[in-house]
Amino acid sequence: MAKKQRAKLVVGNWKMNGSIAENDTLLNGLVQRAATLESRVLLGVCVPYPYLAQVQMQLTGTPIAYGVQDVSAYTHGAYTGDVSARMVAEFGVTLAIVGHSERRTLHTESSKLVAAKAQRALEANIIPIVCVGETLDERRAGQTNTVIHAQLTAVLDTLDKDHVARLIVAYEPVWAIGTGQSATAQQAQQVHAVLRKQLTTRGGIRVPLLYGGSVKPDNAEELFSQVDIDGGLIGGASLSEIDFLAISAGSL
Ligand code: PGA
């Protein structure tokens, strides 16, 4: 009997984009056409907080999961502007991106803080998508493996084994995000293999590893066919129903 292929996971990261009207069109299109994808691909969208009520309304009862792009490192209290994992869980959120490079850079988030955020998400029954990735300078200096290893180690050192087993990890080379210059399938696979080894050693199981950074309909299939790439985290292209679905179809 042929070995059953694991379902691929394709998650959209809307970043700070959208409006109620635009979201309505995009979500309706996704819901209608998601049914045409086989069950071997799972879809999700991570949206700005103000749209949680909308996605809850439009996606509840559909196969499309939804989530947020960050959560607070704290549970509650005097943290003006923060939003806790428990709050978003009340909207049926099941996914939370943590440690995206835009937050690490623009909001100077450390790997330790990212680890605390991952922990808060898991405590609220939300699966964190932990992002790791090197800058172009770090890659050129031959530090890619060291950088991503250290970013992931901070998270693995904070979480207990049960929580590690529930993680999703996304490799997003900083130089590939929003630049149109994706990592090659070989470059991505190489780093995914390193992450896989590190995770297997620490958690003992196979957690989903997503690739992110300029994934488009024309490179998705090759990226997703790599042995250690379990799907993608899609930024710009997730705002187009046609592109997002074409990328998802590329994972089949
Ligand atoms: P991109 O972004 O697909 O627009 O490169 C990916 C991400 O930042 O998650």
Question: Is the pLDDT confidence value at 248 over 50?
Answer: yes
Ligand 1 proximity of 235 Cβ (cutoff 6 Å): yes
pLDDT higher than 90, residue 251: no
- In one letter, which amino acid is 209? L
- If phi > 0 it is left, if psi is from -120 to 50 it is alpha, else beta; for residue 81 that is left
Give catalytic status of residue 100 as yes or no.
Answer: yes
Contact between 177 and 211 (Cβ < 8 Å): no
Of 230, 236, 238, the C-alpha closest to 168 is 230
* Average pLDDT over every residue of 28-51: 90
Query: Given this model, what pLDDT does residue 5 score?
Result: 66
- Higher-pLDDT residue of 196 and 252 is 196
Residue 129: strand pairing partners: 97, 168
Is residue 181 in contact with ligand 1, taking CB distance under 6 Å? no
> What pLDDT, on the 0 to 100 scale, is given for residue 250?
73
Q: Say how many Å lie between the CA of residue 63 and the centre of ligand 1.
A: 23
- Mutate which of 234, 238, 239 for ligand 1? The one with the most ligand atoms within 8 Å of its CB, which is 234
Give the tokens for residue 80: 């003006």
- The region of weakest confidence among 48-52, 113-117, 244-248 is 244-248
Q: Is the pLDDT of residue 111 over 60?
A: yes
Nearest-angstrom CA–CA distance, 252 and 249:
6
- Provide the pLDDT for residue 3: 44
Q: What is the CA radius of gyration of the chain?
A: 17
Segment 15-30 mean pLDDT: 97
Other Cβ atoms within 10 Å of 105 Cβ, number: 11
Q: Which amino acid residue places its CA nearest to atom 7 of ligand 1?
A: 235
137 exposure class (CB count in 10 Å sphere: 0-12, 13-18, 19+): exposed
The reported pLDDT for the residue numbered 204 is 63
Structure tokens at 181: 């210059």
| pLDDT of amino acid 33 | 87
Active site residue 172: yes
Residue 204 CB less than 6 A away from ligand 1:
no
Which pTM value belongs to this model? 0.96
Write the pLDDT tens digit of every residue in 207-223: 999 999 999 999 999 99
In sequence order, the β-bridge partners of residue 42 are 9
Atom 3 of ligand 1 has which residue's CA nearest to it?
A: 235
**Would you say 233 and 131 are in contact if contact means Cβ atoms under 8 Å apart?**
yes
Number of neighbouring beta carbons within 10 Å of residue 252:
13
Pair of tokens at residue 4: 């059953």
Coil/strand/helix, residue 153? helix
Which residues in 183-221 are b (16+ Cβ under 10 Å) and which e? bebebbbbbbebbbebbeebbeeebbbbbbbbbbbebbe
Tell whether ligand 1 has an atom less than 6 A from the beta carbon of residue 236.
yes
Of 138, 172, 192, 221, the catalytic one is 172
Q: Which domains does the chain have, with CATH numbers?
A: 8-249 (3.20.20.70)
Band of pLDDT at residue 102, cut at 50, 70 and 90 = very high
Q: Is residue 101 in contact with ligand 1, taking CB distance under 6 Å? A: no
